[in-house]
Amino acid sequence: MDASGAGDSVRSATVEDTEKTPRPPFPKIELHVHLEATVRPETLLEIARRNDFALPADTPEGIRELYRYRNFDHFIEVWILTTNALQTADDFRQVVVDYAAEAARHGAVYVEGIFSPIERTWRGVSWDDLFSGYCDGAREALELHGVEVLLTPDVTRAAPVEDGFELVRRATKYKERGIVGIGLGGEEALHPPEKFTDVFALVRDEGFGSVPHAGEVAGPESVRGAIDALHADRVRHGIRAVEDPGLLEELAERRVVLDVTPLSNLRTGVVASLEKHQLPELVAAGIPCTVSTDDPEMFDTDLTREYDAALSIGIDPKILYEAGVEGALCSDDTRARLRQIGEAYDWSAISGAPISPRSRQRFSKNTAAQIEPS
């Protein structure tokens, strides 16, 4: 989620409460990551200096301290200062290339990245700088790191509907450069999917995939709106669908892939603990689910730790990978390549429950204080 999608609460993200495993990375597909939230403190400082943009801290340690959120308003402040520092096509290019290197380190073989152009244009950044920068980064990511990165810009829920139309029109110019879908992100509880029904009709007409956020802060009605009004090909999050058995059946029957982010959900207070996460129930209902990082730098997570969290609550990583192959908005050739990677890997070699009960308990303890917005 981005800052405007933080919902009714956010919990403090700590640096020391997650563990990494020594196991070599296995192949992963990531379909839900906000590229603006992948910027490392060192990179943020570099970009800010380049753009003569003032930050409230001048060391990596100081930036990391900013991610220890005091309250909801502080979370919004951190998101704004991070995204406001990104101003040029080269900034956007660098963000994609750097995250591709990070994702590859964790075994990613394919990534669909999200960016929020409407918010940037409100602050004077040109549409062409945004799209060309991210698209250039995706091309370079493949050349340098061997990770195919395709792009799915988000319509901002709080934006006027006309801004959504403008985003889709701009995206069509970059369709051959890796823009494959259009998402919907932001304040889910305040702006239901139906607001953008006509925008997503244009999304379909232009041949883009529909990949809205829904069912994270708002309940199953948000998920139903996403699949009925926006004709979602995938739903980012979707975990609140468990509250409606009929909706669970429909998602399974329609093979709607859900892009789930366990540790992000824990950080934002959507779930109280990993043991209470809805992912096992969704999988048991026959719904294809993927696992992603959402906002990795903002919430001190990475692709390895997200998968470790899923494994620790009994999820088979092979079915997560297969759901990624099914849900990816890629070409037939790429899908065949991804399927071949999955079929060639010995999934039985992955040990289960890589996160100990003590570590899972620490997740809950370190995110225990829910902070209400002022």
Helix (H, G, I), strand (E, B) or coil at 294: strand
Is residue 129 within 8 A of residue 95, CB to CB? The reply is: no
Helix (H, G, I), strand (E, B) or coil at 328: coil
Please compute, for residue 285, the number of CA atoms within 13 A of its CA located in the half-sphere on the CB side: 26
What is 218-280 written as a DSSP string? Answer: S-HHHHHHHHHTS--SEEEE-GGGGG-HHHHHHHHHHT-EEEE-HHHHHHTTSSS-GGG-SHH
d(CA 300, CA 67): 8
* Strand partners for 184: 155, 212
Instruction: Please state, in angstroms and as integers, the Cα–Cα distance from residue 3 to each residue in 73, 77, 81, 277, following that order.
Output: 10, 9, 11, 22
Q: At what angle do helices 127-145 and 161-172 cross, to 10 degrees?
A: 50
Q: What share of the chain is helix, strand, coil (3-state, %, to 5)?
A: 50, 15, 35
Is residue 265 within 8 A of residue 310, CB to CB? The reply is: no
Q: Is 194 one of the annotated active-site residues of the chain?
A: no
Between the two ends of the chain, the Cα-to-Cα distance in Å is 19
Helix (H, G, I), strand (E, B) or coil at 57: coil
CB neighbourhood size of 194 (10 A): 14
Per annotation, catalytic residue among 112, 119, 216, 306: 216
Is residue 280 within 8 A of residue 248, CB to CB? The reply is: no
Q: Which residues are catalytic?
A: 216
